[in-house]
Chains A and B, each alone.
Chain A
Amino acid sequence: MTKLPALRIQAIGAWFLLSLVMLLFAAGPSLAEVKPESLPALTGRVVDVANVLKPQEREALRVKLKNLEDQSGIQMAVATVSTLQGEEIEPYANALFRKWQLGQKDKNNGLLFLIAPTEHKIRFEVGYGLEGTLTDALTKLILRNAVSPKLKAGDFAGGITAGVDESIAVLTTDKSSWQKRPALQQGGDQQASPAAVAFFFIIFLVILYIVWRNRNNINWTSAATGYVIGSAFGGRDGEGGSRDSGDNFSGGGGDSGGGGSSDSY
């Protein structure tokens, strides 16, 4: 029998088994009716897929929404879609909200204003944390009285701006959801700063180098055992989204439970 280095057989075997196991655990399709891949990406605070707003109108809204977040931490986004893909607006808005993860993870203070011009439907999807302030009745009133009449007349900029203004007004008058973010202003928030990234990359390179230098002397059994024991006791928490610096807007990991209300026009 030819004497292949034992290490190489083990390494090949490990990779083979690994890939087999990974295949066994290929994630199946999720139960959600709306597939997250088909939803628009969060390109900014105003995502105008249906193209009903002019650039200066979009910019005006973006400034308002940014001010809202700067002052209170509430992440509000406006989205227009050209098609609801055969879904009702309620599950679509909820799926979109969850994809974008609006709102801070611990406060769930996100708000989505969704307009579907083709289906003539509008909806506020309210995060868990804001449901007490922006109640269903209030959002219904905003949609019915402020937004719907303007949209019926074809004034998208006016209707959407009215919706944004009214919800900001409600949010500012309630002190409990209107809290300054002292942590962020003092730089206490977790940020993927370039320094941290460079640090971990250097550590990674060092480990690689050490492994490479000692590649003939590594006891893979011990390495494997250590890894398994470590992973069996480790948790796998998802992390919240990254904070934005400047206006690279991204979701903060918040969730919504279907609060808010819809209307048609």
Chain B
Amino acid sequence: MTAHFSRIRSLLAIIFLAIGLSGCGYNTIPTLDEAAKAKWAEVQNQYQRRSDLIPNLVATVQGYAKQEKEVLTAVTEARAKATSINVDASQITDPEKIKQFQAAQAQLSGALGHLLAVSERYPDLKSNQNFLALQSQLEGTENRIAVARRDYIQAAQAYNTNLRTFPGSVWASIFYKDAKPIAAFTATAPNAEQAPAVKF
């Protein structure tokens, strides 16, 4: 009898050993969660950086193209709306909030794109050194946003995968019953699947 028990015990020990060696312990879920939250904070940081560049941009363009009132107002309003929507790190499991945040930022991107397209018509503005510097800063910020989003998507994927696969799902069901999958970004524009018609 005792021989059997010790066999079972050994077998259990081996199973636990296998799980332990597979590298997914009690700590993995919180670690991945914190990593994803940190990446989200970086995403917000870069979007905020873009919002901070806009007043300067609007002022510069106004100096040369005062008559483009609608475009300038659209940018300022879109910026106000975008900065008003804040998604706290604890809310990243809520897909609705992420969608709202994305929509506001996409609107700002659209308004900015429109503004930059309009400024193409003003050669004095285009050659203004301040405007060139602002343009390069905006380009840099857009790139940083892209990198931050990629990092966030990867971190969210790592966390969600760990929650769903073995043995992370085991740890989750025992210790982390509240853990929810983290929402990722969706396609931005409402009709992103349709290519825009290009008319010359």
Interface of A toward B, CB cutoff 8 Å: 6, 10, 13-14, 17-18, 20-22, 24-25, 28, 30-32, 90-91, 94, 135-137, 140, 220-221, 224-225, 227-228, 231-236, 256-262
The answer to whether B17 touches A227 (Cβ under 8 A) is yes
Q: Which of B14, B144, B154 contacts A30 (CB 8 A)?
A: B154
Given A32-B150, A258-B147, A21 and B19 contact (CB-CB distance below 8 Å): yes
**Are A13's CB and B136's CB within 8 A?**
no
- Chain A residues contacting B132 (CB-CB under 8 Å) are 137, 140
5 pairs from A and B in contact (CB 8 Å cutoff): A14-B17, A137-B136, A140-B132, A225-B13, A236-B23
- Beyond the given A17-B15, A25-B23, A221-B10, could you list 10 further A-B residue pairs with CB under 8 A, ordered by the A residue number? A14-B14, A21-B18, A21-B19, A24-B22, A28-B161, A90-B143, A91-B147, A136-B137, A221-B9, A227-B20
Q: Which of A30, A90, A260, A262 has the most CB of B within 10 A?
A: A90
Q: Interface residue count for B (Cβ, 8 Å)?
A: 44
Knowing A10-B14, A32-B150, A259-B140 are in contact, say whether A228-B20 is a contact too (CB < 8 A).
yes
User: Are A258 and B27 neighbours in the complex by a CB distance under 8 Å?
Assistant: no
Bound: A20/B167 CA distance, A = 13
Residue B157 contacts which of A24, A31, A225, A261 (CB distance < 8 angstroms)? A31
Residues of B within 8 A of A17 (CB): 14-15, 17-18
Across-interface contacts of A228 in B (CB, < 8 A)? 16-17, 19-20
Chain A residues with CB under 8 A of B55? none
The reply to whether A90 and B146 contact each other, CB–CB distance below 8 Å, is: yes
With a cutoff of 8 Å between Cβ atoms, the chain A residues found around residue B46 in the complex are 257
Instruction: Report B1-53 residues with CB < 8 Å from chain A CB.
Output: 3, 6-7, 9-11, 13-27, 31, 42, 46
State whether B144 touches A257 (Cβ < 8 A): yes
Q: Which of A10, A14, A22, A259 has the most CB of B within 10 A?
A: A14
Residues in A whose Cβ lies below 8 Å from that of B11 = 10, 13
Cβ-defined contact, B140 with A18, below 8 A: no
A232 with B13: CB separation less than 8 A:
no
Name the residue among B25, B27, B154 with the largest chain A CB count within 10 angstroms. Answer: B25
Q: What's the least CB distance linking A146 to chain B, in Å?
A: 15
Would you call B170 an interface residue if the criterion is a C-beta within 8 Å of the partner chain's C-beta atoms? no
Does the CB pair B21–A261 fall under 8 Å? no
Instruction: Give the one of A24, A231, A261 with max B CB within 10 A.
Output: A231
A136 to B49, CA, bound (A): 13
Residue among B3, B17, B139 making CB contact with A261, cutoff 8 Å: B139
B166 interface residue per 8 A CB criterion: yes
B136 to chain A: closest residue by CB: A140
Q: Does B13 contact A257, Cβ atoms closer than 8 Å? A: no
Closest to B133 in A: A137
CA distance A128 to B139 in the complex (A): 16
**Measured CA separation A259–B136 after assembly (Å):** 11
Tell me the smallest distance from the CB of B27 to a CB of chain A, in Å: 7
Provide the B140-152 mask, 1 if CB < 8 A to any CB of A, else 0. Answer: 1101111110100
Asked if residues A135 and B137 are in contact (CB atoms below 8 Å), the reply is yes
> B182 CB to closest chain A CB, in angstroms?
14
Q: Which 6 A-B pairs have the closest CB atoms?
A: A136-B140, A258-B147, A228-B20, A224-B17, A140-B136, A224-B13
Give min CB distance, B12 to chain A, whole Å: 8
Task: Report yes or no: A14 in contact with B18, Cβ–Cβ below 8 A.
Answer: yes
A93 and chain B: residue at smallest CB distance:
B143
Docked complex Cα distance between A8 and B136 (Å): 67
Q: How far is the CA of A20 from the CA of B14 in the complex (A)?
A: 13
* Contact in complex: A10, B137 (CB < 8 Å): no
